[in-house]
């Protein structure tokens, strides 16, 4: 009967066929479990490309055993006397298996076959012989193999060498999880005496050592005397009795409770890539000692005499004290979060002042919190309602809570240690409240940036003019349909402020046809309406996408001194991005009003005038009025209609198509831009008002008075212009 005929498992047959076809090995024997749940193939494998002087003594022909189980990665056993090398698993019974893959079988199953498997074995032996199996860019191997049990430590407090630690056990499907909780919480968890040991030698052989089962095994894994180090930890634990307050707090001054205390051993190991190299990693391993403190100190030869522990003899038998290894994890702290998010830059510990914690604002805040970025002050007067949860990062337990306060609590749940707090404070109030203006200004002075996510023009203007001072501002909002997110970012010196960025944004919408529907919605609202009684409809997907972009923009802005406007649009499964540099604005005073006009618009006035010389020309001024602060913004203009009368001595503006253009601008900007007045040129550099100009000014003022706003007129000369403002 042929060898293939005796094999039962399909993959066993595939291996035999592959060996015959490739000629890189041959089957010596085979055996199987009685129920055929597994088969064992004994194979002579040829280690190709062996160096003349191997780093490790790999033979030209290595005899291996391959244990095959259906739907599992086969185990490959090498000879018992094979040297301990990287990527080799060593079991308690002395068996050694090759670590062939660094991913699970199910991750490579789609590409796994007999030839690939055999070639991988040959690769393992060849690279091991050269000392090249562990690549220079690969992480160092753990000192002991990984296990399913884990211990979660609070790294902020771990540096404090307290002899006690409290763990709460969390049941998982794969093993037990011990998570550190505050020592003072007597009603929870279990108290452990903690023995901390730092291994002095740095290990660089990059070998995974056999998993220790007892204190004796653990001691054997290191060159130094670990048992002696454990011995030194015993008396400091007993010394708790001398601290009446702590002894009462932890053990209620009951010696029996101290004797029955559980034990955890923390071993710190230094690992390096080579003997000459500095330690690359400090690995912390945890072992629960499966006995009580009393049993441990007796095993180390201590007896109780009166109130003291006295050493009477040496260690009795360390092989009888079993231990259980736990992987050491750490509670997430800000530093670790920054590292995981690659957010370690100059802004990580900067103070930020965020206004508005609604759906969009909460998710921007969430991204910054989880990346450990910044120290935040949150301000929002609103509470969480059920409908908010469709897009808010908070949950049902926060319903009825103030949003700023709830976000602060949310951050504390992610970083429970006060040393890691990423929130400076919160304020359950409206930023527009005049009573708290001084408090806001004081908090803003110590901030690197104001983050406006309030979705309110009133808030944006108030921040810009009343609160910010020297502190840079950025405003984030979404359009009413949620298809776009917008960023208005001031420059570092606040030479271009939020209000003029807002005006430039409106003008971008007017001049780019793809944004003409940008502010359309079922509700007629200005771009950033803060609808208290109505929730606009748009997908949570978009909120999440834009929140990620905007939180990234906050981090980028800290290192970018320039101002800009950004519009991001979801278009199917892609993101369309438009970045606009900021326009500078000139400030003029006209009575008790301030005129703000974009420099680019001023340039266009001169160009328009020059084209029509020697005739006068003109048109309509497009902009906006801020009545509260008496500011007139001139954003753009409409050139002379085609039915206008232009001559060297006069200009009479026509009206053909003009009203349609103005209505279109009002429509596109949801009423935020519109007619503010008229402009015309003079053929010389004189910009004073003629008698006709004064009559025109009067008619403009009368017309605008019907809209309760002043009339504005601009006269453009050869090298300068003059703005006139009249209020009736």
Torsion angles phi and psi, residue 321, rounded to 5: -95, 105
Residue 611: its H or E element: helix 599-612
Residue 130 pLDDT exceeds 70: yes
Query: pLDDT value at position 258?
Result: 94
Spatial CA neighbour of 236 closest among 193, 182, 197? 193
Q: How confident is the model at residue 529 (pLDDT cuts 50, 70, 90)?
A: very low
Q: Residue 393 CB: number of other CB atoms within 10 A?
A: 24
How many C-alpha atoms does 577 have within 13 Å on its Cβ side? 10
Helix ranges (H only) for 334-487 are 334-340, 359-370, 403-414, 437-445, 457-462
Hey, which of 7-21, 164-178, 365-379 has the most confident mean pLDDT?
A: 365-379
Query: pLDDT value at position 161?
Result: 61
Q: How confident is the model at residue 340 (pLDDT cuts 50, 70, 90)?
A: confident
DSSP assignments along 535-596, one per residue: -----HHHHHHHHHHHHHHHHHHHT--S-EEEEEEEETTEEEEEEEEPPPEEEEEETTEEEE
- When mean pLDDT is compared across 23-37, 336-350, 368-382, the lowest value belongs to 336-350
Please give the Cα distance from 448 to 207 (Å, whole number).
48
Query: pLDDT value at position 2?
Result: 57
**Which of residues 419 and 408 earns the better pLDDT score?**
408
3-state secondary structure of 141: coil
Phi-psi region of 117 (alpha: psi -120 to 50; beta: other; left: phi over 0): alpha
Query: Mean pLDDT over residues 478-506, rounded?
Result: 95
**Which of residues 446 and 708 earns the better pLDDT score?**
446
The CA dihedral of 221, 224, 226, 232, to the nearest 10 degrees, is: -170
pLDDT, tens only, 84-113: 888 888 877 888 899 888 788 888 888 899
Residue 669 pLDDT exceeds 60: yes
Query: pLDDT value at position 292?
Result: 95
Q: How confident is the model at residue 527 (pLDDT cuts 50, 70, 90)?
A: very low
Torsion angles phi and psi, residue 358, rounded to 5: -75, -160
Q: How confident is the model at residue 482 (pLDDT cuts 50, 70, 90)?
A: very high
Please give the Cα distance from 103 to 234 (Å, whole number).
42
- When mean pLDDT is compared across 129-133, 390-394, 570-574, 583-587, the lowest value belongs to 129-133
pLDDT, tens only, 63-78: 999 999 988 899 999 9
Query: pLDDT value at position 74?
Result: 94
**Which percentage of the chain shows pLDDT scores above 70?**
96
**Which percentage of the chain shows pLDDT scores above 90?**
66
pLDDT, tens only, 426-461: 999 999 999 999 999 999 999 999 999 999 999 999
Query: pLDDT value at position 137?
Result: 64
Helix ranges (H only) for 224-371 are 226-238, 244-251, 255-259, 293-299, 334-340, 359-370
Give the start-end residues of each E strand in 599-663: 618-626, 631-638, 645-646, 651-652
Residue 140 pLDDT exceeds 90: no
- Classify each residue of 475-489 as buried b or exposed e, where b means 16 or more C-beta atoms within 10 Å of its C-beta: bbbbbbbbbbbbbbb
Please give the Cα distance from 16 to 41 (Å, whole number).
9
Please give the Cα distance from 357 to 411 (Å, whole number).
13
pLDDT, tens only, 257-291: 999 999 999 999 998 887 888 888 888 999 999 99
Q: What is the mean pLDDT of the chain?
A: 89
Please give the Cα distance from 482 to 74 (Å, whole number).
52
**Which of residues 212 and 346 earns the better pLDDT score?**
212
Query: Mean pLDDT over residues 119-136, rounded?
Result: 86
pLDDT, tens only, 583-628: 989 999 998 999 999 999 999 999 999 999 999 999 999 999 999 9
Q: How confident is the model at residue 531 (pLDDT cuts 50, 70, 90)?
A: very low
Contact 455, 360 (CB under 8 A): yes
Residue 534 pLDDT exceeds 80: no
Torsion angles phi and psi, residue 204, rounded to 5: -130, 10
DSSP tag of 329 = E
In whole angstroms, what separates CA 36 from the centre of its chain? 50
Give the start-end residues of each E strand in 237-322: 262-271, 281-289, 302-305, 308-311
**CB-based contacts of 582, cutoff 8 Å, min separation 6:** 491, 496, 501, 504, 562, 563, 564, 565
Residue 528 pLDDT exceeds 50: no
- Classify each residue of 86-103 as buried b or exposed e, where b means 16 or more C-beta atoms within 10 Å of its C-beta: bbbbbeeeeebbbbbeee
- Classify each residue of 312-349 as buried b or exposed e, where b means 16 or more C-beta atoms within 10 Å of its C-beta: eeebeebeebbbbbbbbbebbbbeebbeebebeeebbe
Residue 35 pLDDT exceeds 80: no
Query: Mean pLDDT over residues 104-125, rounded?
Result: 89
Contact 197, 306 (CB under 8 A): no
Strands 61-69 and 75-77: antiparallel
Please give the Cα distance from 639 to 394 (Å, whole number).
51
3-state secondary structure of 147: coil
Please give the Cα distance from 71 to 11 (Å, whole number).
9
Contact 356, 380 (CB under 8 A): yes
Rg (CA), the chain: 38
Phi-psi region of 681 (alpha: psi -120 to 50; beta: other; left: phi over 0): beta
Spatial CA neighbour of 412 closest among 404, 401, 423? 423
- When mean pLDDT is compared across 206-210, 325-329, 397-401, the lowest value belongs to 206-210
Residue 532 pLDDT exceeds 70: no
pTM for the full predicted model:
0.80
**Which of residues 92 and 462 earns the better pLDDT score?**
462
């Amino acid at each position: 009967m042929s060898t293939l005929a005796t094999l039962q498992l399909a993959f066993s047959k595939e291996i035999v066929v592959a060996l015959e076809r490739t000629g890189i090995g041959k089957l010596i024997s085979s055996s199987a479990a009685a129920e055929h749940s597994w088969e064992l193939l004994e194979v002579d494998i040829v280690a190709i490309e062996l160096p003349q002087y191997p780093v490790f003594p790999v033979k030209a022909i290595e005899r291996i055993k391959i244990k095959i189980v259906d739907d599992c990665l086969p185990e490959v056993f090498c000879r018992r006397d094979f040297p301990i090398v990287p990527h080799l698993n060593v079991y308690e019974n002395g068996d050694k298996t090759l670590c062939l893959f660094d991913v699970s079988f199910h991750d490579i199953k789609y590409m796994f076959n007999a030839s690939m498997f055999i070639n991988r074995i040959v690769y393992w032996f060849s690279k091991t012989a050269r000392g090249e199996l562990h690549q220079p860019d690969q992480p160092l191997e753990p000192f002991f193999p990984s296990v399913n049990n884990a211990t979660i430590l609070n790294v902020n407090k771990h540096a404090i060498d307290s002899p006690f630690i409290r763990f709460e056990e969390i049941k998982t499907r794969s093993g037990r999880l011990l998570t550190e909780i505050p020592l003072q919480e007597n009603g929870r968890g279990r108290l452990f005496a903690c023995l901390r040991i730092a291994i002095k030698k740095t290990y660089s052989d990059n070998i995974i050592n056999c998993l220790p089962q007892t204190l004796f095994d653990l001691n054997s894994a290191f060159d130094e005397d670990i048992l002696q180090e454990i011995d030194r930890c015993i008396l400091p634990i007993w010394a708790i009795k001398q601290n009446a307050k702590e002894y009462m707090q932890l053990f209620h001054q009951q010696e029996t409770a101290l004797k029955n205390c559980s034990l955890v051993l923390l071993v710190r190991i230094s690992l390096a890539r080579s003997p000459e190299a500095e330690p690359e990693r400090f690995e912390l391993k945890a072992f629960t000692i499966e006995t009580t403190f009393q049993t441990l100190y007796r095993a180390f030869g201590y007896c109780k005499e009166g109130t003291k522990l006295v050493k009477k003899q040496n260690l009795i038998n360390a092989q009888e004290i079993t231990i259980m290894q736990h992987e050491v994890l750490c509670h997430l702290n800000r530093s670790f979060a920054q590292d995981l998010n690659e957010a370690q830059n100059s802004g990580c510990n900067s103070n930020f002042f965020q206004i508005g914690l609604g759906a969009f604002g909460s998710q921007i805040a969430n991204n910054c919190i989880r990346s450990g970025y910044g120290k935040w002050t949150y301000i929002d007067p609103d509470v969480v309602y059920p409908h908010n949860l469709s897009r808010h990062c908070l949950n049902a337990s926060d319903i009825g809570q103030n949003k700023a306060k709830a976000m602060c609590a949310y951050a504390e749940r992610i970083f429970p240690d006060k040393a890691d707090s990423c929130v400076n404070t919160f304020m359950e109030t409206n930023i527009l409240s005049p009573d708290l203006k001084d408090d806001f200004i004081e908090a803003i002075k110590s901030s690197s940036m104001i983050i406006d996510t309030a979705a309110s023009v009133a808030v944006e203007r108030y921040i810009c003019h009343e609160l910010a001072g020297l502190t840079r501002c950025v405003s984030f909002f979404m359009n009413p349909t949620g298809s776009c997110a917008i960023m208005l970012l001031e420059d570092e010196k606040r030479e271009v402020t939020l209000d003029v960025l807002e005006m430039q944004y409106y003008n971008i919408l007017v001049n780019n046809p793809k944004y003409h529907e940008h502010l359309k919605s079922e509700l007629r609202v200005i771009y950033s309406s803060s609808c208290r009684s109505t929730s606009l409809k748009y997908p949570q997907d978009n909120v999440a996408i834009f929140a990620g972009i905007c939180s990234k923009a906050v981090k980028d802005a800290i290192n970018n001194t320039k101002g800009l406007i950004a519009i991001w649009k979801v278009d199917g499964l892609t993101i369309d991005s438009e970045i606009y540099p900021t326009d500078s604005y000139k400030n003029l005073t006209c009575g008790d009003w301030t005129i703000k006009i974009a420099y680019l618009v001023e340039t266009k006035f001169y160009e328009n005038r020059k084209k029509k010389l020697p005739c006068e020309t003109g048109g309509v001024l497009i902009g906006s009025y801020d009545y509260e602060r008496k500011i007139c913004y001139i954003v753009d203009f409409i050139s002379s209609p085609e039915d206008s009368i232009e001559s060297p001595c006069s200009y009479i503006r026509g009206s053909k198509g003009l009203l349609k253009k103005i209505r279109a601008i009002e429509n596109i900007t949801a009423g935020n831009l519109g007619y503010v007045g008229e402009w015309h040129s003079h053929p010389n550099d004189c910009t004073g008002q003629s008698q006709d100009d004064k009559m025109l000014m009067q008619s403009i003022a009368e017309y605008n008075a019907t809209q309760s706003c002043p009339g504005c007129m601009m006269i453009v000369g050869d090298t300068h212009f003059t703005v006139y403002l009249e209020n009736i």
